[in-house]
Chain A
Amino acid sequence: MSNHEYSTQPDRDWTRRMADAEDRCTGVLAGGLASDVGLLRSGDQMSPRVFGQLIEFARRSRGLTPEQLASNADIELSELVAIERDEDFVPTPRSVFNLARELRLAAGKLMELSGLAERRDQTLSQAALRFAARSEPSAKLTKAEREAFEEFVKVLVEASDGG
């Protein structure tokens, strides 16, 4: 039971006046600051290479081709390939978010790994380093990787012969 005369729904003059005031004043936010919690890129970020590797491994561990993952995650195949292969490529936040959803990974951590968000989680940094150390040069190629590699080399040779 209310102990006052005011209604949750004010008159329309009140509503319109406050709507106009919101427009003039940018916003109504109360809470915590972005710069302190951070979806902000900073110079202190992890290697995008690790991010690309992680996406590739997550995809492969689920038995998905790049085409399937790109389709399921609703991103361009070219962007997925760039994410996996091009360490200078900066993915879009939407793509990172969609990949996180599709691969069932934590979106916030993926944003950190991709370099789109400020690094905050030291455990994640260490895990990324371990992952990078174990997954890079020493890993042998699987049969499929070797076949793909050989096919690519063959194309390169043919192109070279043609030119």
Chain B
Amino acid sequence: MSSERVEIVRRHDDAFVEAELLEGVRPEDLALVERAWGPSRLEIYEALLKAGVPRNRWPESLHWDWTKKAPDLKLLAASGFGIVCEKKWQGLLLAKTAGHQAALSPDRSKPLVYVDYIETAPWNWRIDAIGQAGEWRAVGSLLFRKAVLLSLDEGFRGRLGLHALPQAERYYTDACGMTAVGRDGAKQNLMYFEYTAEQAKRFLDGKGGNA
């Protein structure tokens, strides 16, 4: 597993704090992640129930179990990235570099990086309904940036696709400037988003969306 230095933002004092972005996450790492994240998910679940928050406002990844994603990591074309800060996994991303093609012109049908899953640690979620502010910021964006860089490394010029959960749709359009290609009936009717090479470059240059 290789490691690069990144900085994430601590919410309570808005300070930049050094973290490690790890490449080459292994199936056994997912077990460690879930051991740490599972109880936190359940605490949130309990708080949501107690507060009577309607289910359509619950975090949409509350049910996730990263250990079940371990088989995906064993594929040759799969890459796993994680951010660790203060000895805790703060976020994870799994991506594939084969098996997916671009839907958008001008590179239609050319290969792209497909983001299978991206999630930040439950304690980083901002859930206003239960008064949870989230401890660390920018974790998801740095992981997503790493997936775009993977696309460049693979010679895909930044082309990237993913199916966003409904609560994250705005992030990918407004903050990242991706194109919402359309709802995918084969994938739980989630919205499929894609980056062209040009859009990916704008994102990396900090001009990606309306953010």
Contact = CB atoms under 8 A, between A and B. Distances in A.
Contact of A9 (B4, B116, B117, B119): B4
Contact of B211 (A12, A21, A31, A38): A21
Contacts of B182: none
B94 to A, nearest CB: 9
Contact of B7 (A15, A29, A108): A15
Interface stretch (A47-55, A89-97, A126-134, A138-146): A89-97
Given A6-B152, A8-B21, A22-B175, A37 B141 contact: no
Interface string A23-42: 11111111111111111100
B204 A22 contact: no
A143 to B, nearest CB: 38
A156 B9 CA distance: 61
Interface of B: 4-9, 16, 21, 38-39, 42-43, 45-46, 49, 55, 58-65, 115-120, 125-126, 137-138, 140-146, 149, 152-153, 155, 162-168, 170-171, 174-175, 188, 190, 204, 206, 209, 211
Interface of A: 2-4, 6, 8-40, 92-94, 96-97, 107-108
Given A4-B153, A28-B140, 17 more contacts: A3-B152, A9-B4, A13-B206, A15-B138, A19-B138, A22-B171, A25-B170, A26-B126, A27-B140, A28-B141, A29-B168, A30-B116, A30-B162, A33-B165, A33-B166, A92-B46, A94-B46
